[in-house]
């Protein structure tokens, strides 16, 4: 059996999938969102508990050598409050309570880059308070901002990763395997085109058949264990958004939309300055921007397909997150699906990290 692992704030299991693929034995997991738990059960295992972590008696959590997960990111987000004042921020300390109860040899704590600058009510940096609290519990902490694209994910997604280990040994993060340009030591970043070019144009059906063989290493990896393409229905758009999208070139955004297009939102963006990703069209030769939980909305993120007049499908977003095609979403709502996908740790990144942690834990 692999290293016994427990998972908190597990979501649909992107992080857990990578660790499971690396041979870790995940014995217990938890999340508060029903849709996420149902998807986790269908793809990872039945060991997940649907409950608010603050209401769980920590004594029932089984002992394990590794704890993985990251509290909801909203409190630390660059677009949210800088001060940790709401309940979601306090979930950080629930993670700490589990550390105290379970006493794992190591832990992995994942969060948004906003964690680096988030402050407590007292004005302290949250990350410094966290590291201090972990140290008081006997852990040596390493942390780094990691870009998923540097490890084979077709997405420029930066996250803070903290890895703690009991004792004095310090974890060394894995060296990047990919870069913007290919070199002797690194592969070229996996691009949007690399990730999506084998998928057929979507229609009204949620399920589609493959119409071409896989065209590269990434597509081969994504198709393993899958015979059909699910979650690939054509996203719905308003007539106005269809007109707007028609005027956005590859790599363009709302600034490319002519002034005569009758959109109050576009006019406001132009007057006040919207994010450069708003109404953005993907660049096929590059990794995508961060996939968020609103990839079904053209005004929130760079979500327009590079070669067609439409938004990306749920499956295409999952590809850009490096979820294999065999992963099946179980959700009664489209919103639930978008949340599961947008909040996930890319499984390919998770596996690279897991392999390095397995090597590290074999020596402690």
Query: Per-residue DSSP letters for 221-250?
Result: HHHTT-SEE-S-PPPP--HHHHHHHHTPPT
- pLDDT, residue 84, reads 44
Indicate the pairing of strand 228-229 with strand 208-209.
antiparallel
297 lies in some domain: no
94 lies in some domain: yes
- pLDDT, residue 221, reads 98
132 lies in some domain: yes
33 lies in some domain: yes
- pLDDT, residue 333, reads 85
**Tokens read off for 280:** 């953005």
325 lies in some domain: no
**Tokens read off for 267:** 């006019």
- pLDDT, residue 283, reads 98
Q: Which residue among the candidates 73, 106, 278, 302 is catalytic per the annotation?
A: 73
221 lies in some domain: no
- pLDDT, residue 25, reads 98
- pLDDT, residue 77, reads 40
**Tokens read off for 54:** 């603050």
- pLDDT, residue 271, reads 87
Instruction: Give me the helix-helix angle, 14-21 and 347-361, nearest 10°.
Output: 50
Query: Which stretches of the chain drop beneath a pLDDT of 50?
Result: 76-85, 88
Rounded to whole angstroms, the Cα distance separating 35 from 179 reads: 35
**Which residues constitute the domain of residue 356?**
4-178+345-361
Known catalytic residue at 73? yes
- pLDDT, residue 120, reads 74
Rounded to whole angstroms, the Cα distance separating 249 from 22 reads: 40
Counting every residue written for the chain, the total comes to 364
pTM over 0.85: yes
267 lies in some domain: no
Number of structural domains the chain divides into: 1
The CA–CA distances, whole Å, from 206 to 41, 193, 317 equal: 21, 21, 14
CATH number of the domain bearing residue 35: 3.40.50.150
326 lies in some domain: no
CA 256 to chain centre: 29
* Burial of residue 75 (number of CB atoms within 10 Å: 0-12, 13-18, 19+): buried
């Amino acid at each position: 059996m692999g290293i016994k692992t427990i998972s908190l704030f597990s979501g649909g299991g992107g992080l857990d999938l990578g660790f499971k693929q690396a041979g870790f034995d995940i014995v217990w997991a938890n999340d508060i969102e029903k849709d996420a738990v149902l998807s986790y059960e269908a793809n990872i295992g039945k060991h997940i508990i649907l409950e608010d972590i603050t209401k769980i008696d920590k004594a029932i959590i089984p002992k394990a050598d590794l704890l993985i997960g990251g509290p909801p990111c909203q409190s630390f987000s660059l677009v949210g409050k800088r001060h940790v004042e709401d309940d979601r921020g306090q979930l950080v300390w629930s993670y700490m309570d589990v550390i105290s109860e379970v006493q794992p040899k190591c832990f992995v704590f994942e969060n948004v880059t906003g964690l680096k600058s988030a402050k407590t009510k007292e004005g302290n940096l949250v990350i410094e308070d966290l590291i201090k609290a972990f140290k008081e519990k006997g852990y040596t902490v390493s942390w780094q901002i990691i870009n998923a694209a540097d490890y084979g994910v077709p997405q420029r997604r930066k996250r803070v990763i903290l890895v703690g280990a009991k004792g004095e040994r310090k974890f060394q993060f894995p060296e990047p395997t990919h870069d913007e340009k290919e070199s002797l030591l690194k592969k070229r970043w996996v691009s949007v085109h690399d990730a999506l070019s084998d998928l057929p144009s979507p229609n009204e059906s949620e399920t589609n058949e493959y119409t071409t063989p896989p065209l590269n290493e990434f597509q081969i990896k994504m198709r393993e264990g899958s015979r059909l393409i699910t979650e690939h229905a054509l996203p719905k758009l308003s007539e106005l958004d269809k007109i707007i999208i028609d005027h956005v070139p590859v790599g363009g955004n709302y600034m490319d939309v002519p002034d005569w297009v009758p959109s109050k939102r576009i006019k406001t963006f132009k007057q006040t300055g919207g994010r450069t990703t708003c109404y953005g069209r993907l660049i096929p030769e590059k990794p995508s921007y961060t996939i968020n939980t609103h990839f079904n909305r053209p005004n929130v993120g760079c979500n327009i397909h590079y070669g067609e007049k439409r938004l990306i499908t749920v499956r295409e977003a999952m590809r850009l997150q490096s979820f294999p095609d065999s992963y099946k979403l179980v959700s009664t709502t489209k919103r639930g699906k978008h949340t599961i996908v947008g909040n996930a740790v890319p499984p390919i990144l998770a596996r690279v990290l897991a392999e390095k942690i397995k090597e590290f834990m074999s020596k402690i």
